[in-house]
Structure 1
Amino acid sequence: MQYEWADDDSDVPPGAVHLDLSAPIDGYMYVMYHGTTKESAEAILTSGFRQSAGGMLGPGVYLSRDLQNASRYPIDHPESDRAVIKVLVSVGIVIAINRQNHPHQKTWQDLGYDTAWVPPNCGMVRSGLVEDCVWDPNRIKIIKIIHPTPV
Structure 2
Amino acid sequence: MSELLKLENQLCHRFYTLSNAFTRAYRPLLKALDITYPQYVTLMALWETDHITIAELLERTAIDGGAMSLILKKLEDKDFLMVNKDETDKRVKRVQLTKMGKEKKTIAEEVPAQMLCKLKGMSAEESRELVKLLDKLGGCFQNAEL
Q: Which has the higher helix share?
A: 2
Give TM class, smaller chain.
Answer: under 0.3
Instruction: Name which one, 1 or 2, has greater alpha-carbon Rg.
Output: 2
TM-score by length of 2: 0.25
TM-score by length of 1: 0.24
Q: Which has the higher strand share?
A: 1
